Structure 1
């Protein structure tokens, strides 16, 4: 899941705060209506002030074209958003429509929080055509439509072009992990101060790609899709490369937060979602580019499109208005021009065609064009996946720092994951 204003480890670290959060009740509500006979709906999202400024412009446009509906806006940073959302939902007063992601669909559906939007499609209040790359199915869970994508992104390797050039390392389509690790070893030895990579052990989404290349996955619909032996090898290999200096010391990564290791000039490369190129290029004067994901067999990257979405509250009193609002936000061309790629590459053809990317946004669009033929269906995320991700981040860092052995870390992770996924 990605959004402007957060870095790879920064946004994953923020997710750790969600572990202690729980939805105590599934009651949902909505405003009773706005002043002057207008229907009022509440819309909440996470993100920085820049995103808020853009979204408020789109709300003003919606209200101009739908004068009978008033939209009350609310936003917080990522962790604060979920704290407030859980509190509101527990009190029976969540927002009518809110920003969501694939990772949370099963969790909140299990708690009866999310509105099934399929009836609104059938009633003509919401369209699911004109989506790019099959994204109209991204919000489908167990026969229900629980979210509508507003943007999408995929994983990539961000790298310091000067450091790669000095070391004679050239990323290319179909390169293997063997090629990649040989390259970062050359960079680490040649630079004298930079590690070749920011560190991989606790990046759940990257490990998922590695597993998918081997016909496995991080998650199945019911639980984990890999064994303890798989994880022991992954963490042991990462620990060995960290000790050799090919990966950035996790202690240095933690000290640099919230700035990522790449833009903090601690490493020459880092894996993350492609639209994070905006942040990396804004935080450093170094030249940063996007490279393809290394492969196991020279062909399959395991990549998929992840998406930020809009979801509705299951007990909103204004289902039709919520559906019309979501429809407007994902289809209206003017909204696409305003939002650009703030929440990922635009999800529908009308918005994608309306926005003409320049600079960094064009680089992101070009990257997605290059990898579009490699895109596969997204890995299912069961309820509790967010807690599992936080555990993977925390324990993976403990293993790399050396405060937990590989064997103990694997046992600890599987124990915590089984508890989270079984709850």
Structure 2
């Protein structure tokens, strides 16, 4: 959009939101959540993410406060791990934010701790609309009949490839290709392109979940783990062999170049990750990058589902109506989509999906990838994770890396994972 010397009201609000964010403040000021003499209320909104996400979110909040002048929003954002440390402290003290960014791994955990607001009553009251969502995503935040989260952006696992490497190696991944096809491709890349095939899939919990789903299992059930020690031993034995043979990238080198990805650093030819993360490779690397389909066991079933970040409310909020109105605005208003883009995934509602038309090739590829998944009919439902799933996921990632670095044997890593997970999951 061309810029002129004049700035409209929305522009002023956006600039104000960005300036305040730079000083760690918000348009709502510094006070605690509550009400005031003029009938206005303040709600607290917290999320994790980068400075860029913070800037975008502050712009959307400025638009919300323009539409709802009686509702002020005080914001707080942190990096992922710091966010949950602070949130745990707030929740334990009975003072969580009124509304906050959430993920499926935390729904049951905080529901059992009596932290999450069931938004169903607000839907019935007409303050929150749950129509117009894509691909059944309106059900994503439901647990045991309660609406505990509303999705704001969808994503799915994908294989991000260095297109130049795959082309030179003569490899063209197509829907329905198998794990045997994938393994052969990784060997070919190693032998012909002077780098590892993959960055290291052994620690990607959500990829392993898809592999298990292809075999009629899942990483989590509603109550605990959905696989056995023998299953994990098979997965990690193959991973260990792949690292030693050079099919997967050297984990020591991968650790040295973090936070840059092994794919962008040219240590590997591909990497499994969420589709909306594909944007990072273009900014980090020198090659062209694309999205390839997930390998299958039978040539058909990928085990995939659409995941999503969500917005949840606090059960302790004094302003459930305003929280619902805020969430409704953030998932339905077209202007929000134009500001956020695919920062939190592809917009979950049709109105927002149609409002944002990506101009760059990477984001167009992300949208096309998800459209293809929906059209192909391969998508499945995700099981809401049990309480303690976040601890199990952290253990999986840590132990997989220790295994890859040679600090643990496969048997030791498997035993330790099940020991820690059973403690975290309470079963």
TM-score, length of structure 2 as denominator length? 0.90
Counterpart in 2 of 1:342? 343
Q: How many residues align?
A: 393
In the aligned structure 1, how far is the partner of 2:408 from the partner of 2:122? 50
Residue 378 of structure 1, aligned match among 358, 375, 382 = 382
Residue 33 of structure 1, aligned match among 24, 32, 35 = 35
Deviates more, 1:392-401 or 1:211-220: 392-401
Counterpart in 1 of 2:320? 319
Counterpart in 1 of 2:58? 56
Correspondence 1:78 to 2:80: yes
Counterpart in 1 of 2:416? 412
Deviations 1:216-249 (A, max 9, x none): 1001111111111111111111111111100011
SS of residue matched to 2:34: coil
In the aligned structure 1, how far is the partner of 2:281 from the partner of 2:132? 31
SS of residue matched to 1:416: helix
Deviation at 1:277, TM superposition (A): 0.8
Counterpart in 1 of 2:263? 262
Counterpart in 2 of 1:391? 395
In the aligned structure 2, how far is the partner of 1:169 from the partner of 1:32? 59
In the aligned structure 1, how far is the partner of 2:205 from the partner of 2:170? 29
In the aligned structure 1, how far is the partner of 2:196 from the partner of 2:412? 27
Deviations 1:328-348 (A, max 9, x none): 111111111111111000000
SS of residue matched to 1:75: strand
Deviation at 1:34, TM superposition (A): 4.6
In the aligned structure 2, how far is the partner of 1:187 from the partner of 1:138? 38
Q: Is the 8 A contact 1:34 1:70 kept in 2?
A: no
Counterpart in 2 of 1:24? none
Correspondence 1:203 to 2:200: no
Q: Tell me: higher relative CO, structure 1 or 2? Use CA pairs within 8 A at least 6 residues apart.
A: 1
Counterpart in 2 of 1:101? 103
Counterpart in 2 of 1:120? 122
Note the residue ranges of structure 1 that are not aligned, 5 or more in a row. 1-29
SS of residue matched to 1:238: helix
RMSD between superposed Cα atoms in Å: 1.2
- 1:105-254 to structure 2, matched below 5 A, reads 105-192=107-194, 194-254=195-255
Note the residue ranges of structure 2 that are not aligned, 5 or more in a row. 1-31
Q: Is the 8 A contact 2:56 2:339 kept in 1?
A: yes
TM-score, length of structure 1 as denominator length? 0.91
Q: Is the 8 A contact 1:197 1:270 kept in 2?
A: yes
Counterpart in 1 of 2:23? none
Deviation at 1:36, TM superposition (A): 4.3
In the aligned structure 2, how far is the partner of 1:296 from the partner of 1:78? 33
In the aligned structure 2, how far is the partner of 1:191 from the partner of 1:177? 20
SS of residue matched to 1:268: strand
- 1:2-21 to structure 2, matched below 5 A, reads none
Counterpart in 1 of 2:49? 47
Q: Is the 8 A contact 2:33 2:74 kept in 1?
A: no
Q: Is the 8 A contact 2:101 2:312 kept in 1?
A: yes
In the aligned structure 1, how far is the partner of 2:260 from the partner of 2:224? 32
